[in-house]
Amino acid sequence: MNKGELINYWVEKYKDIGADRILLGANDIPSDLRSLVATQISLKSNFMVKLPSWYSNPSIYIPTKLALEQSTGEVCARYKQRFISDTDILCDFTGGFGVDFWAMATKAHKSYYIEQDKDLYEAARDNLTSLLGNDKMIEFIHGNSTSYLDYCADHDVSFIFMDPARRDTGDKNRRVFAIDDCYPNAVEIIRDINKIYSLKRKIPPKILVKLSPMLDVAHTLKTLPQAKELNILCHKNEVKEILVYIDLEHTYQDFKHIPVIASNILKDDTDLIDIFTSTLNEEGGCKADYVEEIGQYVYEPNAGIMKSGMFKSLGLAFNILQVSNDSHLYSSDRFIPDFPGRKFEVEEILPFKSSLLKDLKSKKIKAQITCRNFPLSPDELRKKTGIKDDSSRTIIGTKMSDGTLFLLNCISLYTR
Cβ partners under 8 Å of residue 294, min gap 6:
323, 331, 346, 349, 400, 406, 408
Task: Dump pLDDT digits (tens) for 114-149.
Answer: 999 999 999 999 999 999 987 789 999 999 999 999
Nearest to 407 by CA among 284, 270, 258, 298: 298
Task: Dump pLDDT digits (tens) for 312-364.
Answer: 999 999 999 999 999 999 999 999 999 999 999 999 999 998 888 888 888 88
Tell me the sheet residues that pair with 388: 366
Task: Dump pLDDT digits (tens) for 11-21.
Answer: 898 888 888 88
306/325 Cα distance (integer angstroms): 13
221/186 Cα distance (integer angstroms): 13
57/290 Cα distance (integer angstroms): 53
Cis peptide before 30 (omega within 30 of 0): no
Q: Which pLDDT band, with edges at 50, 70 and 90, does 174 fall under?
A: low
Q: Which of left, alpha, beta for 138 (phi over 0: left; psi -120 to 50: alpha)?
A: beta
Q: Which pLDDT band, with edges at 50, 70 and 90, does 416 fall under?
A: low
Nearest to 232 by CA among 259, 197, 205, 201: 259
Give the CA-trace dihedral at 399, 233, 221, 249, to 10 degrees: -150
Per-residue pLDDT at 360:
86
Q: How many Cβ atoms sit within 10 Å of the Cβ of residue 331? A: 24
Task: Dump pLDDT digits (tens) for 286-321.
Answer: 998 999 999 999 999 999 999 999 999 999 999 999
DSSP H helices, 299-376, are 303-308, 311-317, 354-363
- The 3-state secondary structure of 84-148 reads CCCCCEEEECCCCCCHHHHHHHCCCCEEEEEECCHHHHHHHHHHHHHHHCCCCEEEEEECCHHHC
Q: For 304, phi and psi rounded to 5 degrees?
A: -65, -40
Q: Say if CB 69 and CB 63 are below 8 A apart.
A: no
Q: What is the pTM of this model?
A: 0.92
Task: Dump pLDDT digits (tens) for 55-67.
Answer: 999 999 999 999 9
Kindly list the distances between the CA atom of residue 345 and the CA atoms of 16, 35, 243, in Å, as whole numbers in the listed order.
48, 53, 34
Q: How many Cβ atoms sit within 10 Å of the Cβ of residue 306? A: 18
For the residues 255-259, what does the mean pLDDT come to?
95
At residue 54, does pLDDT exceed 80?
yes
For the residues 86-96, what does the mean pLDDT come to?
97
Task: Dump pLDDT digits (tens) for 7-49.
Answer: 999 989 888 888 888 888 788 889 899 999 999 999 999 999 9
